[in-house]
Amino acid sequence: YSAAKGIGRLTSRLSKNFADQVIESIMELFSLWESDMTWHGGCLALVELARHGLLLPQRLSSVLPFMEQAMLYDELGGNFSVGSAVRDAACYLCWALSRSYDPSLLQPFVHQLAKALVITNVFDREEHVGRQGTFPHGIDILTTCDTFAYVKMPISNSVFSWRNTKSTGRISSSI
């Protein structure tokens, strides 16, 4: 996070044109071939730029798709899943945007952001279930679900949601 803060401080001393080039370079880091650490650092750098008002409003339409991808980031790393830090950093970026920019600037993106936030909140393995323990049967559901079998299936979350709802009778009205 120190590197991201440094990028924010250095960029704040540049002209708008050069600052925009820094943002463009950061956005080039968000590719399928980059590691989770690169995605995490890229999100944190964008957070710092947003917090300092350096992420110009005209850049929001090009930054938000990467933020949305980062909110859903999940990759297998050996026999475990990586991506929780990337998802957390992407949610932090969403928070920074909402705190730093006028709501009217974010209005065109509200539905897109809300959808990504809800998906992240519902299906992130750490949120509510592990950290807060407020969901009935939450830990049981997580230990029952073989995450690694589902992780690469495109419809896995909807299938698991349906099965979970059917077996527990919970959240059926939501689906």
Is the pTM of the predicted complex or chain greater than 0.85?
A: no
What's the DSSP call for residue 129? T
pLDDT exceeds 50 at position 172: no
What pLDDT does 126 receive?
60
Q: Pairing between strand 75-77 and 80-82? A: antiparallel
pLDDT-wise least confident of 1-15, 19-33, 35-49, 120-134: 120-134
pLDDT-wise least confident of 104-108, 115-119, 157-161: 157-161
Number of Cβ within 10 Å of residue 83's Cβ equals 22
77 forms beta bridges with: 80
Tokens of 45: 């750098």
What pLDDT does 173 receive?
45
Overall residue count recorded for the chain in this entry: 175
User: By the 8 A CB rule, do 144 and 96 touch?
Assistant: no
pLDDT exceeds 70 at position 70: yes
What pLDDT does 57 receive?
86
